[in-house]
Amino acid sequence: TQWVYNFGAGRNEGRADMRNLLGGKGANLAEMAGIGLPVPPGFTITTELCTEFYRNDRTYPADLKPQVDAALALIEEAVGLRFGDGEKPLLVSVRSGARVSMPGMMDTVLNLGLNDETVQGLERSSGDPRFAWDSYRRFIQMYGSVVLGVSHHRFEEIIEDIKTEMNVLEDTALSAESWAHVVESYKDLVARETGKPFPQSPEDQLWGAIGAVFGSWMNPRANTYRRLHDIPADWGTAVNVQAMVFGNMGEDCATGVCFTRDPSTGENVFYGEYLVNAQGEDVVAGIRTPQPMSEARAKEGELSMERALPEAYRELLTVRDTLERHYRDMQDIEFTVQKNKLYMLQTRSGKRTAAASLRIAIEMAQEGRISHEEAIQRIQPSSLDQLLHPTLDPKAERVILARGLPASPGAAGGVIVFSADEVEARAARGEDTILVRIETSPEDVHGMHAARGVLTTRGGMTSHAAVVARGMGRACVAGCGGIRVDYAAQTLSAGNRTLKAGDWITLDGSTGEVFAGKVATIQPTLSGDFSTLMGWADSVRRLKVRANAETPEDAAMASKFGAEGIGLCRTEHMFFAPERIGAVRQMIMAENEAARRRALDTLLPFQREDFAALFRIMGDRPVTIRLLDPPLHEFLPHTEAELEELAREMGETLEAVKERHAALSESNPMLGHRGCRLGITFPEIYAMQARAIFEAAVLVGSETGRPVTPEIMIPLVGSEHELRVTRAEVEAVARDIVDKGGVAVDYTVGTMIELPRAALTADRIGEHADFFSFGTNDLTQTTFGLSRDDAGSFLPHYIEKGLLPRDPFVTIDREGVGALVRIAAEKSRAVRPGIKLGICGEHGGDPSSIEFCEQVGLDYVSCSPFRVPIARLAAAQAAL
């Protein structure tokens, strides 16, 4: 078996795409050498050897050593030095390198091969005693701590002592004699701590370091990291052995780390730090202050590399360009300059912020380095979230109060308010508020809308608060168990702190953090890059993207983000407004049809205005309006006072109202009197809503001269008959109004598919439907037999134990719920080829679910306004 792959030295056996075998570092060192960049020669021992090592009780196969010896000989030949030679010693670094960069692995050991004899050879061959002894002490220090396990600070203490003794501040000011002195103390320390003298044989040193790298693969830190990041243990790590180059040989030497573009803004500037006369991790160790790369970025008193080492800097600029052209991405690189000669020691694609990621992708496409399609593929749709919401100013000071779930992204601050009504009142006066509730219910929605953000102490990522806040684009921290809310006292407390209603708090819905007081925020800018990307995405996607919206504000927001219609306008929230809820309650509690009609007559003008406002914003884009859906009890009065008021308004006795109230209560409202069942038992309700829709459509159509396109959606249909009957009612109203209105209205009638039976009988239901909208929230609940509101107590456990791959309310369950969607799509198209199919659950804004929708060939997805850009990008990626 080939366990060892050479790079740089005469023979170059690796490539970037061999990352699994050679680890990321080894593969890229070989790739860089392969394209002619100056890489010190070396070799990589494969990750397969690591696996073999553990399979055989931590022993090496017999054919490893000859391969290592041969590879070492190649390096010796390439650089003209010999490992362990007393005159011209070869020194090497030993570096770990897994497939993905992994904290917890062994730190790099530099200058390996030095001993009491070779250090003198190095001294003579370099003519620089200070450098030779500094290198030797560095080696003992690294090898001693990393391989032999002697505590790092014991070495540092020795240096501190000698600095005090010699009265110098910086390490670089110590002389060769001082370093020789340090070496003696180090060796004593190692002997004392390990009971053995420091290994003098370079060969022993090498195998000791190799063993330590492989051993570190199974150390507790690495194990924990792997578990947290789902990295399989059998991936293994590689070991890289590489000829040393020296950045610590004087003022014409340096070492540095940099990014080929600014990783926080994406700006196309060389970004990084370097240190003159330094080695390895000195730049990040914080012993000396690193200096900037380019003169343009140098502040007063700083010495840029451009000025200090102009020759090497120019070479590095060329390398930067070569690397970007070759890898076609922003790179994170490590380099060393030895006597003005540049050497590359590492490259990998650089980590970056969402904003930088966007800018880099766009600019690289504009520079012709990548195609538009690649630029589209490079941006994680969910990362756009960071760009669409306000964020906390990273420089702002903050006092953390507690931490909950990051339920809806964005940062928001305001005064603490405990009731939705008060939020609304304060918001009307222009105050910023945060609605704080133990949990929220549909009655809080108007307050959530008026608030800057929402904080709950109970509930999960799919709790009412989380779902509604995400839909509205309000920041929300949910399930913040560390906070106790006392409604009566109007206080919230966390630990030993107590805040009162009216005190200011700040939420970060992207992290789940809650802060006492004001923390400055930064507003998002939908910059040129953002709209450029959206334009490219729009030109390749097939799926249309609509928004779930019911208020004019939501619709306007959705339009701004590029929604091509409204895919779900729920009508129930419209009923909770204070001036309407009375009439709604009367409608529900009415003794007879006449009384119900009276209440409905009151509601009609409100509804008409609701719809007219939406139509005005959406113009000729389709608006899907779902007729009343929720269980009626959600509208019922709860308190004695509310019951009394209702009785007074209705002119009935309290007893009569209470009796009716009791009769309406259900033991399982989710599966009770709701959806089209309401429309069937109380046809007047749907008739009123249909009337409001058509009257508004005629009105707006005549205002604009362009036909409005309402799509009337009947909820919770389980059989064709339910749709047949309710559709007939809607059409009767349409005949009455549209035919007389004298203005064209392009209306259609369809249904939501949210019950398994509906999906399975989609061919029959399809006979009566112009469109289907998959209501995958309810479809997930009804398919799993799982209540979303109650799943918080066990679903996380299922996911943790691997019984479910993901939260099915976030990402569609393709096997079960997805199969029903597929069946319904096929069956309905068989009877009605052009039937319009869409999805309007939370899944409509989830990239993986959108990919599924593309595969099934749906016509559109609909999601909350703030997710529209995410959906546009995800739809484009799904189409590529």
Q: Which is nearer to ligand ADP, 287 or 725 (CB)?
A: 287
Kindly name the residue from 372, 446, 464, 661 that is annotated as catalytic.
464
**Local structure of residue 364 (DSSP, 8 states):** H
Nearer to ligand ADP, 243 or 759 (CB): 243
Identity of the residue, 48 or 281, whose beta carbon is nearer to Mg ion in the bound complex: 281
Q: Which does 252 bind (CB under 5 to 8 A by kind): ligand ADP, Mg ion, none?
A: none
Q: Smallest distance, Å, CB 817 to ligand ADP?
A: 43
Residue 338 or 773: the one with the smaller Cβ distance to ligand ADP is 338
β-bridge pairing 623-626 and 710-714: parallel
Contacts of 109 (CB under 8 A, 6+ apart): 93, 94, 95, 139, 142, 143, 146, 147, 209, 212
Enter the DSSP assignment of 676. H
Question: Is the CB of 263 or the CB of 701 nearer to ligand ADP?
Answer: 263
Interaction site with Mg ion (CB under 5 A): 334, 346
Strand order in the sheet with 497-500: 483-486, 491-494, 497-500
Q: Residue 484 CB, nearest distance to ligand ADP (Å)? A: 44
| Beta carbon of residue 544, minimum distance to Mg ion (angstroms, whole number) | 46
Of 243 and 478, which CB lies nearer to ligand ADP in the complex structure? 243
Q: Is 78 left (phi over 0), alpha (psi -120 to 50) or beta?
A: alpha
Give the C-alpha separation, 345 to 627, whole Å.
65
Q: Which does 242 bind (CB under 5 to 8 A by kind): ligand ADP, Mg ion, none?
A: ligand ADP
Q: Is 211 exposed, middle or buried (0-12, 13-18, 19+ CB in 10 A)?
A: middle
Please, what is the minimum distance in Å from the beta carbon of residue 391 to ligand ADP?
29
From Mg ion, ligand ADP, none, which one binds at residue 44 (CB under 5 to 8 Å depending on kind)?
A: none
Give the Cα separation of 768 and 770 in Å (integer).
7
Give the strand order in the sheet containing 291-292.
291-292, 271-276, 254-259, 331-338, 341-349
Which residue, 351 or 806, is less far from Mg ion as judged by CB?
A: 351
Query: Which amino acid is present at 533?
Result: L
What span, in angstroms and rounded, lies between the C-alpha atoms of 550 and 140? 69
* Partner in contact with 782, chosen from Mg ion, ligand ADP, none, beta carbon below 5 to 8 Å by kind: none
Please tell me the distance from the alpha carbon of residue 276 to that of residue 256, in angstroms, as a whole number.
9
Sort 414 into a burial class: Cβ within 10 Å, 0-12 / 13-18 / 19+. buried
Q: Closest Cα to residue 545, out of 564, 530, 570?
A: 564
Closest approach of Mg ion to the CB of residue 286, in Å: 14
408 binds, among Mg ion, ligand ADP, none (CB under 5 to 8 A by kind): none
Q: Catalytic annotation on 464? A: yes
Give the nearest residue (CB) to Mg ion. Answer: 346
Closest C-alpha among 536, 562, 537 to residue 547: 562
Closest CA to 253 of 150, 341, 353, 154: 341
Q: Nearest approach, Cβ of 173 to ligand ADP (angstroms)? A: 22
Burial of 127 (0-12, 13-18, 19+ CB in 10 A): exposed
User: Partners of 334 in the beta sheet?
Assistant: 257, 346
Tokens of 479: 């399930």
Instruction: Select from Mg ion, ligand ADP, none the partner in contact with residue 847, using the beta carbon and a kind-dependent cut-off of 5 to 8 Å.
Output: none
468 binds, among ligand ADP, Mg ion, none (CB under 5 to 8 A by kind): none
Please, are residues 283 and 255 in contact by the beta-carbon 8 Å criterion?
Answer: yes
DSSP state, residue 147: I
Nearer to ligand ADP, 345 or 454 (CB): 345
312 contacts 305 by C-beta, under 8 angstroms: yes
* Helix (H), strand (E) at residue 182: helix 176-194
CA 106 to each of CA 61, 214, 215, 351: distance values in angstroms, whole numbers, following the listed order:
22, 8, 8, 22
Smallest gap from Cβ 196 to ligand ADP, in A, equals 26
| Full 3-state SS string of 522-546 | ECCCCCHHHHHHHHHHHHHCCCEEE
Element (H, E) at 626: strand 623-626
Q: What, of ligand ADP, Mg ion, none, does residue 110 touch, CB below 5 to 8 Å by kind?
A: ligand ADP
Interaction partner, residue 280 (Mg ion, ligand ADP, none; CB < 5-8 Å by kind): ligand ADP
Q: How far is the CB of 81 from ligand ADP (least distance, A)?
A: 13
Residue 815 Cβ vs ligand ADP, minimum distance, rounded to whole Å: 40
The two structure tokens encoding residue 44: 């990589």
> For the chain, how big is the Rg over CA atoms in Å?
34
Q: Which of residues 341 and 458 has its CB atom nearest to ligand ADP in the complex?
A: 341
Strand partners, 771: 836
> What's the min distance (Å) between Cβ of 269 and ligand ADP?
21
CB of 107 to Mg ion, least distance (A): 5
Choose among Mg ion, ligand ADP, none what residue 457 binds, the Cβ cut-off being 5 to 8 Å by kind: none
List residues near ligand ADP by CB under 6 A. 40, 93, 95, 108, 110, 242-245, 255, 280-281, 334, 336, 345-346
CA dihedral of residues 200, 206, 208, 212 (deg, nearest 10)? 140
Minimum CB distance to Mg ion smaller for 346 or for 457: 346
Cβ 257 to Mg ion shortest distance, Å: 7
Identified catalytic residue from 50, 253, 840, 863: 840
Q: Closer CB to Mg ion, residue 106 or residue 696?
A: 106
- Which of Mg ion, ligand ADP, none lies near 762, with the C-beta cut-off 5 to 8 A by kind? none
Decide whether 21 or 112 has the Cβ nearer to ligand ADP: 112
What is each CA distance from 552 to 566, 613, 617, in whole angstroms? 11, 6, 7
Under a CB-based contact definition with an 8 Å cutoff, are residues 40 and 95 in contact? no
| Residue 758 interacting partner from Mg ion, ligand ADP, none (CB closer than 5 to 8 Å by kind) | none
E strand or H helix at 800: helix 795-800
Min dist CB 32 to ligand ADP, Å, is 13
Contacts of 786 (CB under 8 A, 6+ apart): 780, 795, 808
46 touches which of Mg ion, ligand ADP, none (CB within 5 to 8 A by kind)?
none
Residue for token pair 């912020």: 353
Q: Which is nearer to Mg ion, 47 or 346 (CB)?
A: 346
Q: Is there a catalytic annotation at residue 840?
A: yes
Catalytic residue list? 464, 840
